[in-house]
Structure 1
């Protein structure tokens, strides 16, 4: 099968981003960007992606859609929301990190990740470095955030991380961001990157490139 057929199968079967799965309509506005940051924090732990997404949904249902709401919630309220999403293994530590991260965002960037973006001045490396300043956001969390935000922050595109590149290579697809971006319509690279993460362990169900 052709690369085009492999990419189509990936997008059709696994091409839902984590943000979409969590009910986040990603846009370059403060609340959805913050919710993506929270989701990246949850996905950074050694826990299943489905549980992390469920926990992100529960935090949103509880009203913690802005850094101020997250910071002003009690620690127990954050723990309870995480528990409803079955994020129990790391709930207490994560509840603390979410409060601290919200406070950092409010204090340093006035609650708006677009200010962090402006501070990075178009440098993906600078942006990645600033993201890792948030408690719980290490290199993996920063990669998740950048993979998904590239749809609304064009200066970060095309962005793929080592995990995406390795899976692309396994499937016979090009491994660089620029080459992968040429295989999909503009704006679909976040979906392709998400699909390449999700397909791991299910490669045999796809046509070979």
Structure 2
């Protein structure tokens, strides 16, 4: 393993899901929490705030589709506010409620059914994910980058942010070549580290040092 890759994994290799307290398990609650996180991170807001808001929503009972739908709109707004997710709190509270209802109605609360409906095809999965309110191409990238830890059929999922980070620290931007740098189980961790590097030039310089 390259020295740069080892340093990336050691210093910045915590997935965003893990930072938000979401277990990377192929289970309904974990996958729904990942979808919530992708929704929150899609906005033009710092990842620290988005992840804090996710933790507040889960703490309030919004960690499952049923739980999120049972929260009142005001309870969702209040949870987002406690995470300082204030700029987009009202519209996001509405979207999260609608998203939870859709997960229940279309997938019976279990996003593993989305994988089956997509035929385990990444392009089809991206189309289905974008049917959820608040999930666009950015949200798809966030979800799939992390979900590849649970869904091997997504690997290697290397989006533009990951490529930008790879370029910054002198790693290959080709998905296959980049994926070959780590065991498959660590690809989501490497991706998360490279996204952080893409956003933080100082971190990139530290990794290269």
1:170 CA displacement: 2.4
Contact 1:62–1:81 under 8 Å retained in 2: yes
Deviation sequence 1:89-144 (CA, Å, 0-9, x none): 10000000000001111111111101111000021000011111111111001000
The alignment yields a C-alpha RMSD, in angstroms, of 1.1
Query: Which residue matches 1:96?
Result: 94
Cα deviation for residue 60 of structure 1 reads 0.8
Gaps of 5+ in 1: none
2:143 aligned partner: 145
Distance 1:151 1:43 in 2: 18
The residue that corresponds to 1:119 in the other structure is 117
In 2, Cα distance between equivalents of 1:41 and 1:119:
21
Q: Structure 1 length normalisation: TM-score?
A: 0.96
How many Å apart are 1:204 and its aligned residue? 1.2
- Secondary structure of the 1:187 match is helix
Q: CA offsets, 1:11-55, max 9 Å, x none?
A: 111111110000111111100000000000000000000000000
Q: How many residues align?
A: 206
**Quick one: higher RCO (CA 8 Å, sep 6+), 1 or 2?**
1
**2:174 corresponds to which residue?**
176
Contact 2:165 2:196 in 1 (8 A): no
Return structure 1 stretches of 4+ with deviation > 3 angstroms: none
Which position in structure 2 is the counterpart of 1:51? Answer: 49
Displacement after TM superposition at 1:88 (Å): 0.5
Range 193-202 or range 92-101, more displaced:
193-202
